[in-house]
Amino acid sequence: MTADKPVIHVQGLEKSYKDLRVLRGVDFDVARGSIFALLGSNGAGKTTVVKILSTLLKADAGTAAVQGFDVATQAANVRESISLTGQFAAVDEILSGRENLVLVARLRHLKNPGKIADDLLARFSLTDAGARKVSTYSGGMRRRLDIAMSLIGNPPVIFLDEPTTGLDPQARIEVWQAVRELAANGTTVLLTTQYLDEAEQLADRIAILHEGRILVNGTLAELKQLLPPAKVEYVEKQPTLEDVFLALVGDNGTKESR
């Protein structure tokens, strides 16, 4: 396929669970090598979109294609082009980080599983922890291992469903860095998130899924233009917790002690 064709093309996607109409006509495209963030509240249907795109779930209506392959009629081709890191980490606790990676590389019948594992450990700053059981890893380390596992075999498209939910700020930054590197190497990334700052930090384009449809879709700058320009307003300043804290314990003597 040509470089300017979207890698992910979604049109008129509909999905209901019994009476619950979750997707009511979802449209969007994702360009090659870009990071696309699908933003929405709990239950908006983000995971449903990701499941349809990764062929785990059938849509009721509409079309979706990945790498030019239709998710409904060419599911096997789609699966070869993608990897999915689900909302809940899929690593094996009993195995070490390295063993998890080697296992997946073996399952995919790749040559040199050991080297693949070591390269990925290095890429995700897990070399030192590689021999340790995953049960001893922090949440951020697990998430990075999970993403590393999904990269085995170099899929051109990767879906990350809420990659940083539950992570502390430092671990989130590490995952963001890993995602940025993926896109810089030409991988197309579709991620879902509930965190506005995550979309701001990472995404080339942001789409907001609300009540079954894409409410807006654009770059961060475009989305900001949807609101009127910033106004100067005078507001009464309430003390922050930080002000209270500093007033009570002092801030290293730069102010008079109380």
Ligand X SMILES: Nc1ncnc2c1ncn2[C@@H]1O[C@H](COP(=O)(O)OP(=O)(O)OP(=O)(O)O)[C@@H](O)[C@H]1O
Name which of 46 and 205 has its Cβ closer to Mg ion. Answer: 46
Rounded to whole angstroms, what are the CA distances from 209 to 20, 94, 152, 253?
A: 16, 37, 30, 49
Question: Which of 6, 8, 35, 47 lies at the binding interface for Mg ion (CB under 5 A)?
Answer: 47
Residue 42 near ligand X by CB under 6 A: yes
Pick the stretch among 17-25, 28-36, 143-151, 229-237 that binds ligand X (CB under 6 A): 17-25
Name which of 41 and 225 has its Cβ closer to ligand X. Answer: 41
Map residues 94-133 to x or -, x wherever contact with ligand X holds by CB under 6 A: ----------------------------------------
CA atoms of 86 and 161, how far apart (whole Å): 5
Residue 188 near Mg ion by CB under 5 A: no
Consecutive H or E run containing 159: strand 157-161
Q: Which two tokens stand for residue 87?
A: 């909302």
Considering the complex, what minimum distance in angstroms separates the CB of residue 224 from ligand X? 23
The alpha helices in 111-164, defined as continuous H runs, are 113-123, 139-150
Map residues 177-196 to x or -, x wherever contact with ligand X holds by CB under 6 A: -----------------x--
Tell me, what amino acid is at 218? G
Pick the stretch among 5-13, 46-54, 124-132, 148-156 that binds ligand X (CB under 6 A): 46-54
Secondary structure percentages of the chain, helix, strand, coil, to 5? 35, 25, 40
CA atoms of 120 and 188, how far apart (whole Å): 18
Which residues from 129-148 bind ligand X, rule CB under 6 A? Answer: none
Considering the complex, what minimum distance in angstroms separates the CB of residue 36 from Mg ion? 16
Map residues 84-103 to x or -, x wherever contact with Mg ion holds by CB under 5 A: ---x----------------
Considering the complex, what minimum distance in angstroms separates the CB of residue 137 from ligand X? 23
Contacts of 157 (CB under 8 A, 6+ apart): 7, 8, 66, 67, 81, 82, 83, 187, 188, 189, 190
Contacts of 164 (CB under 8 A, 6+ apart): 143, 171, 172, 175, 176, 193, 195, 198
Q: What is the largest CA-CA distance in the chain?
A: 73
Name which of 107 and 215 has its Cβ closer to ligand X. Answer: 215
Residue 59 near ligand X by CB under 6 A: no
Which of Mg ion, ligand X, none does residue 77 bind (CB under 5 to 8 Å by kind)? none
Name which of 17 and 245 has its Cβ closer to ligand X. Answer: 17
Residues contributing to the site for ligand X (CB under 6 A): 17, 20, 22, 40, 42-48, 87, 194
